[in-house]
Amino acid sequence: MTDVLARLRELRSGDLPTHGGRTLAYVYDSGLSEVDEIAAAAHALASSANGLDPTAFPSLLRMENDLVARAAGLLGGTPDTVGTVTSGGTESCLLAVLAARDARPDVASPSIVLPETAHAAFHKAAHLFGVRKIVVPVDPDTFRADPAAMAAAIDDSTVLVVASAPSYAHGVVDPISEIAAAASARGVRMHVDACIGGWVLPYFAKLGADLPPFDFRVPGVTSISVDLHKYAYCAKGVSVLLHASAELRRTHFFASAAWPGYTMLNPTLQSTRSGGPLAAAWAVVHHLGEDGYLKLASRAREAVERIRAGVAGIPGLRVLGDPVSTLVAFTGSDGFDLFTVADEMKARGWYVQPQFAHGTSPLNLHLTVTAANHGSEPEFLADLAASVEAARAEGPVRVDPDVAAFVAALDPETLTAEQFGGLLAAAGLTGGDGLPERMAPINALLAAAPEPLRERLLVEFLGALYTPSPQ
Contact stretch for ligand PLP (CB under 6 A) within 8-16, 109-117, 189-197, 346-354: 189-197
Among residues 22, 43, 119, 456, which is the contact residue for ligand PLP, using CB under 6 A? 119
User: Considering beta carbons, is residue 92 or 340 the nearer one to ligand PLP?
Assistant: 92
Residue whose CB is nearest to ligand PLP in the complex, by number: 89
Residues 1-60 that bind ligand PLP (CB under 6 A): none
Which residues within the stretch 429-468 sit at the binding site for ligand PLP (CB under 6 A)?
Answer: none
Total length of the chain: 471
Q: With respect to ligand PLP, which residue has the nearer C-beta, 139 or 343?
A: 139
CB of 335 to ligand PLP, least distance (A): 31
Complex with ligand PLP: residue 119 or 456, whichever CB lies closer: 119
Task: Tell which positions 219-278 bind ligand PLP, by CB under 6 A.
Answer: 227, 239
Span interacting with ligand PLP, options 28-36, 192-200, 382-390, 438-446, rule CB under 6 A: 192-200
Q: Which stretch binds ligand PLP (CB under 6 A): 47-55, 139-147, 191-199, 214-222?
A: 191-199
Residue 214 CB, shortest distance to ligand PLP, in Å, is 12
Work out how close the CB of 58 gets to ligand PLP at its nearest, in angstroms, rounded to a whole number. Answer: 27
Looking at the Cβ atoms of 118 and 372, the one nearer to ligand PLP is 118
Q: Confirm or reject binding of residue 196 to ligand PLP (CB under 6 A).
A: yes
- Which residue among 111, 164, 364, 373 contacts ligand PLP (CB under 6 A)? 164
Q: Are 21 and 376 in contact (CB under 8 A)?
A: yes
Residue 301 or 445: which CB sits closer to ligand PLP?
Answer: 301
- Please, which residue, 239 or 361, has the CB nearer to ligand PLP? 239
Told to check if 121 binds ligand PLP by CB under 6 A, we report yes
The binder of ligand PLP chosen from 31, 76, 77, 89 (CB under 6 A):
89
**Is 195 an interacting residue with respect to ligand PLP (CB under 6 A)?**
yes
What is the distance, to the nearest Å, from the Cα of residue 210 to the centroid of all Cα atoms in its chain? Answer: 24
Q: Closer CB to ligand PLP, residue 193 or residue 344? A: 193
Please, what is the minimum distance in Å from the beta carbon of residue 215 to ligand PLP? 14
How far apart are alpha carbons 302 and 208 in whole angstroms? 13
Question: In angstroms, what is the minimal distance from the CB of 74 to ligand PLP?
Answer: 16
Piece of the chain touching ligand PLP by CB under 6 A; list 61-69, 74-82, 84-92, 153-161: 84-92
Q: Beta strand pairing status for 353-355 and 364-368?
A: antiparallel
Give the total of residues touching ligand PLP (CB under 6 A).
13
Question: Binding residues for ligand PLP, per CB under 6 A?
Answer: 88-90, 93, 119, 121, 164, 168, 193, 195-196, 227, 239
